[in-house]
Amino acid sequence: MVFQKGDIVYEDPEQYGACCGARIEILDGGAGIEKIVCCGNELTEEDVINR
C-alpha cells in the first residue's frame, strides 16, 4: 500500500461503524507509510477519497 502526496484517507462511519470519522491528508511523499490504524480499523488505499 502506498499513499501519494495530497491523498486524503477517510475513515467512513458508514463502512466502519463506530469510529471517529478521521480524515488524514498525506502532506509529503507517502512511500514510507506502511499502514494507518484509527479506532482499531486499518485504513487502506480503498479509503482514499480524492484520487
C-alpha cell at 26: 498525506
Strand partners, 25: 8
Position 11 scores a pLDDT of 96
Identify whether the C-beta of residue 19 lies closer than 8 Å to the C-beta of residue 38.
yes
Concatenated DSSP letters of 5-40: TT-EEE--HHHHSSS---EEE--S--TT---EEETT
5-51 pLDDT, tens digit per residue, is: 888 999 999 999 989 999 999 888 656 677 789 999 999 889 999 76
